[in-house]
Structure formats: C-alpha cells, structure tokens
C-alpha cells in the first residue's frame, strides 16, 4: 500500500471541500484578509508598489502596457465575466431559469434587490460627490453567498440554494447591463466598429455550429482588445463572447465513428486505447458552452478571483467612514434583504410565482441578507464609479465591511430558522 492510498480516506473529504463553492468563498476571504493586512502593515509601501507595477506585452513594434492592478481588473476579470456570461446563458436556456415560475421568482427578487439598495444609497449621496456610486450596492457575490450556504450544509433546504443561485445569475446580468449603460467612458467609434464586426463573426460561427474552442479563444482575444480601446469596459467582451458560444451538442455521427472502429476485445493496449477514446468521446459529446465553462471555472476560482481580491481588498485605514461608506452599508445590509424579500413576496402575492419546497419567509430573509455580500462585483463597480477619486478608499471600506456583516447576519438567520419541514423532492414545487 502506498502512502497516497493510505491517506486517501482522510484526504477525500478535503478534496470534496476544495471542489465546492465553500472553498471558493473561503479562499477569497483569506486573500482579501491578506491584502487588507498587508495594506495596513509596516510593509504597506511594497503592497501599493506591487499594484502599480507595469507589465507590458510586445508584438513587433506595438507595445501594450498596463499596471498589475489594471491587468487584474481589465484583463483577468474579462475571463470572470466570460464565465458569468456562460452561466447566464446556460441558466436561461436549460437549467434553473428555464421555467416561468423559477424565472419569475428570481427576476422579481433580483429586481427588488437592485432597485432598493440603489435608492437608499441615492438618499444619502444623491447630488453629492459620491452620487456616481449608486451601482455599488446593487451587486451580489455568488461565490461568497453560495459558500456560506455550503458551510451551513443540510441546515439549509435545497430549494433555497437553487433560488439563491438563480437570483445571483439574474443579479449578475443586471450588473452587466448597469456597467455597460452607466459606467462607460467616451467611445472611440472606430474600435466600436471593429468590436462589433468581431462579435458578429463570433455570433455567426456560433450560429453555424463552429465547435472548436480555439476559434472562440482567438476571436475573444481580439474582441477584448477592441472593446478595451473603444471606451467600453473591457470585461464586457467576456459576456459578449459567451453569448456567441453554442450550447447545442455536436452531431454524434462525427465522433462515434472512430470509437466504433476500435475492437471491442483485444490486448491490454487495445483496451487502454478504447478507454482513451471513451474519455475523448465524453469530452466531445458536450456542447462548446459546457466544455468552455468547465475549462475556465478552476482558473477563475483559483487564479482570477484571488488575484482580483489581492489587488483590490488592500484598503489603508485612515479616513474612516463617510456618507459613501454609509450609503453602501445601508444599501447592502438593509436595501438588499428588503428588496429581495419584497420583490419575491410581491411575485408570490400576485400569483406569478411560489416559494420552493421547504422554504419559508424566514429562509428568504436569510437569503436576502446573504445577497448583501457584494465583494467581487461591488468592488468592481466601485473601481468604475470612483476611479481616480479620493472616495475610492471610503467606498471599498464600505463594501468590505458590509459584505462581512451580511455574511455573519445571513448565516445567523439561517441557523435560527432551521431546515424546514420535510416535503417532496422537487424544490421548486409550491407546498400544497
């Protein structure tokens, strides 16, 4: 028996933990705490020097130069938004949001969870120097929120996890639209035209059934550059590319023939070859959207989001809380649960939707608080709203503090309300 096989029973629970959303949330928390501690330590100067270090790419005489902070925010986060776009497309077409009931409850809750926080923020900051930050408390960090639910385990009914996932997907779509419509600088029409042509080519190839991910990788890189230079935020290129990637599966006739050519029985080498063909078959039987989503999900979880947290969570204390911080706190901690629960209640009251099985309004209140964990998306919008402003640090502090409090309060409420009654398995059927 090898050492690895002897340790396998002990390692298995940890490996399962690593692959779920709980680990993604914990990893983000650890990196954020590291950045925050570093920015307020005697070595703070090295932290801010790292963020402002420039890294360049050269292609012949052309040179492309951005700081590490901008590479994380404009480059790596484009891959994050690509994953968000793929999830939105998948959810809308085949999964949680495919039925009218699921979509109505999630859309109503998400709409309330975006409008109420923005309105509360505007009450404190409308017309002032921080007025542009109204979009900051509108967002939900899906990794953190689902991570908290995962840590609570069976105390939380499955229907609530499905609802919160659908809510976060709709919330992400709203955030993308807000960024595109309200946080865009002056447009360079030439690059806008190039971006449109590139996106059109990707959409056409997706419609025609181009299943090679290499094609979309090349077009995605070009689209990112053109969108960056156009004045639109570069991360929108990720969502645009996701909309072009086909979700339909390839014709099985194209990949079954090589498998059928392998003998059913034979030597060990022939059987190994057949197993390899089976693995390749399973890979090619998936749609390009699913293959791309599975390919980039680990990269986003273990590289993109931690890098973003490291570059953005390092907030040096000093100025204290102001109206911008208070507006974000009010929006995320009060506006989010009021908006989410209020929107869902209205949809149920009007008969347009029903709560999932085993989920009651106490659970919904806990989910509304967890939706106040803004972190990644809120910090991202903060950078857009207050770039170059003295209010940037104050806004980031508000996001970090509100996200921490929302996580604690949401988990506490869900622990108190408990799991709920045992009912049939379908989490989306209303209780009789």
Q: DSSP assignment of 395-406, as one string?
A: HHHHHHHHHHHH
Question: What pLDDT is attached to residue 134?
Answer: 94
Give every CB contact of residue 184 below 8 A, 6+ residues apart in sequence.
231, 232, 233
User: Binning pLDDT at 50, 70 and 90, where does residue 297 land?
Assistant: confident
Question: What pLDDT is attached to residue 407?
Answer: 92
Over range 264-276, report the average pLDDT: 58
CATH fold of 46-249+286-417:
Na+/H+ antiporter like fold (1.20.1530)
Q: Is the pTM higher than 0.85?
A: no
Give every CB contact of residue 67 below 8 A, 6+ residues apart in sequence.
51, 52, 53, 54, 55
Check pLDDT > 90 for residue 430.
no
What pLDDT, in 10s, does the model give residues 358-369?
889 999 999 999
C-alpha closest to that of 107 among 331, 293, 339: 339
Phi and psi angles of residue 246, each rounded to the nearest 5 degrees, phi first: -65, 145
Report how far residue 376's alpha carbon sits from residue 80's, in angstroms, rounded to the nearest whole number. Answer: 10
Question: What pLDDT is attached to residue 425?
Answer: 45
What pLDDT, in 10s, does the model give residues 111-156?
999 999 999 999 999 888 899 999 999 988 877 787 788 778 778 8
């Amino acid at each position: 028996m090898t050492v690895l096989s002897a340790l396998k029973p002990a390692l298995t629970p940890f490996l399962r933990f690593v692959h779920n959303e709980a680990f993604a949330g914990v990893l983000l928390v650890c990196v954020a705490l590291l950045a925050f501690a570093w920015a307020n330590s005697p070595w703070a100067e090295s932290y801010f020097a790292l963020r402002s270090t420039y890294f360049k790419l050269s292609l012949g005489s052309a040179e492309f130069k951005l700081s590490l902070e901008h590479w994380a925010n404009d480059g790596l986060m484009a891959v994050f938004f690509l994953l968000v776009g793929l999830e939105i497309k998948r959810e809308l077409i085949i999964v949680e949001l495919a039925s009218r009931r699921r979509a109505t409850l999630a859309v109503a809750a998400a709409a309330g969870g975006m409008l109420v926080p923005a309105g509360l923020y505007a009450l404190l900051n409308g017309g002032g120097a921080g007025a542009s930050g109204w979009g900051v408390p509108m967002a939900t960090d899906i990794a953190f929120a689902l991570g908290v639910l995962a840590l609570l385990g069976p105390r939380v009914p499955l229907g609530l996890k499905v609802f919160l996932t659908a809510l976060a997907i709709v919330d992400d779509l709203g955030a993308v639209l807000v960024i595109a419509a309200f946080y865009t600088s002056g447009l360079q029409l030439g690059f806008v035209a190039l971006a449109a042509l590139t996106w059109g080519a990707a959409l056409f190839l997706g419609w025609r059934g181009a299943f090679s991910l290499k094609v979309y990788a090349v077009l995605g890189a070009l689209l990112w550059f053109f969108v960056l230079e156009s004045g639109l935020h570069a991360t929108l290129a990720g969502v645009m590319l996701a909309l072009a990637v086909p979700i339909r599966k390839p014709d099985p006739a194209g990949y079954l023939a090589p498998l059928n050519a392998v003998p059913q029985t034979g030597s060990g080498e022939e059987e190994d070859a057949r197993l390899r063909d089976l693995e390749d078959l399973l890979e090619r039987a998936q749609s390009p959207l699913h293959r791309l989503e599975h390919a980039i999900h680990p990269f986003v979880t273990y590289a993109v989001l931690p890098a973003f947290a490291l570059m953005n969570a390092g907030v040096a204390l000093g100025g204290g809380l102001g109206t911008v911080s208070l507006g974000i706190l009010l929006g995320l901690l009060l506006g989010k649960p009021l908006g989410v629960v209020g929107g869902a209640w209205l949809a149920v009251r009007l008969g347009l939707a029903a709560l999932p099985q085993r989920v009651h309004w106490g659970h919904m209140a806990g989910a509304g608080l967890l939706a106040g964990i803004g972190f990644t998306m809120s910090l991202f919008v903060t950078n857009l709203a207050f770039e170059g402003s003295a209010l940037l640090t104050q806004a980031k502090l508000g996001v970090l503090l509100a996200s921490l409090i929302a996580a604690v309060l949401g988990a506490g409420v869900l622990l108190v309300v408990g799991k709920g009654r045992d009912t049939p398995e379908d989490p989306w059927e209303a209780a009789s």
